[in-house]
Structure 1
Amino acid sequence: MTPIISPIRWTIHDLDALPENEGIRREIIAGKLFVTRAPHWKHQDIIANLTTELKIWSRSHFGRVFSSPGIISSEEDNVIPDLVWVSEKRLAEIEDEAGHFTGFPELIVEVLSAGEKNIYRDKQAKLKLYSQGRVQEYWIVDRFSRELEIYRLENGQLKLYEISKCLLQIKH
């Protein structure tokens, strides 16, 4: 009889055992480990532009904007979104003593990086996780096609609401 080999299920405790590396980003989604390099400067420039716009908007909407916060929603789900907006009320509910989020904010933004694994992570794995976490709105910025996909929570699922051309300056 041939034994069944099950894939490794990673947890947040496994990440603690790995060596530190500033140039590497590690995320776990449903027990699957995703490892990526630091994003391209164009990726980071888009995040900076969105951060500025959301901070201005946030002044009248009682919330906070954070880039690259750690969200540890379970032992098998640990992500670092590019950008989030969270209301002051929700922030008080989800922030732990270490400054991580233990639940999801109202808005999460991801900027796509090149590569099939990165696109799968943001458009499928994270979309599913954020739906389960009841994120109210999820934006995916595609810097290559210069499009913004907006997903909104509807009947417990993030559903594609709109695709529009990005208004922010995205230069190649």
Structure 2
Amino acid sequence: MSVVTQEVPCLSLGPNSSGACLTPAEFDAAEFEEGWRYELIHGVLVVSPPPLRKERDPNEELGRWLRNYQEFHPQGGALDATFPEETVVTPTDRRRADRVIYAGLGRDPEEGEVPAVVIEFVSAGKRNLIRDYEEKRDEYLAAGVREYWVIDRFDRCLTVYRPQASGSSRQVVREGEVYTTPLLPGFELRLDGLLQRADRW
């Protein structure tokens, strides 16, 4: 008995495609017009503009800290890779994260591999708060992310979520405090530095 495989069409998607219904396979095979963020959320394509400077600047600063840790810290080898604007693959969705961290692999991550840490910088608006603090938390942790960091320039805090047998644990780091994680031994995230970057804009 022969098995018939259906070829997934290669779609060309742009900002006018927002709202289209897609399967994860169609999203993965698509070609995207540059200059926009693309996500697949509950089977619907969501297209949004790129992050503003007040979000990009602290994100780039965090990336610099991480690469300095990787290159110069004695335990920096724990960090395998970090990328901004990376698509996180969940069983049903494709979320565009502000930054991801791969740690503890001892190798380069494969395309579509679940990162150890996902980071989001909160945007203004109640809808964005619900999305970043609740929806993405549940999706990322269910996909196997070990830590989810929410950096909130409005509430002046970093919230770290970790999976637990009964949901998730939550740790809040306030302005003036330093966050450390066993996933990156010796790395110190000084929240003040990121908030100051966001405040410039």
Identify the TM-score tier after normalising by the shorter chain. 0.7 to 0.9
CA drift of 1:111 comes to 0.5
The answer on 1:89 being equivalent to 2:111 is: no
Instruction: Report the equivalent of 1:3.
Output: none
CA drift of 1:85 comes to 1.0
Closer, same or farther: CA 155–90 of 1 in aligned 2, 3 Å? farther
Instruction: Report the equivalent of 1:118.
Output: 128
Separation in 2, partners of 1:16, 1:64: 22
Separation in 2, partners of 1:116, 1:84: 24
Deviates more, 1:122-131 or 1:8-17: 8-17
CA drift of 1:164 comes to 1.7
Runs of 5+ in structure 1 lacking a partner? 1-7
Q: What are the superposed Cα offsets for residues 64-109 of structure 1, whole Å, 9 maximum, x if unpaired? A: 11111222333x21112111110262765x61xxxx32x3211110
The number of residue pairs the alignment matches comes to 158
Separation in 2, partners of 1:88, 1:11: 32
Superposition RMSD on alpha carbons, in Å?
2.7
CA drift of 1:46 comes to 0.9
Q: Which has the larger radius of gyration?
A: 2
SS in 1 for 2:51: coil
SS in 2 for 1:135: coil
CA drift of 1:33 comes to 4.1
After superposition, residues 13-52 of structure 1 pair within 5 angstroms as 13-15=25-27, 20-52=32-64
CA drift of 1:53 comes to 1.3
Correspondent of 1:106 among 116, 122, 131:
116
Report the TM-score when normalising by structure 2.
Answer: 0.66
SS in 2 for 1:153: strand
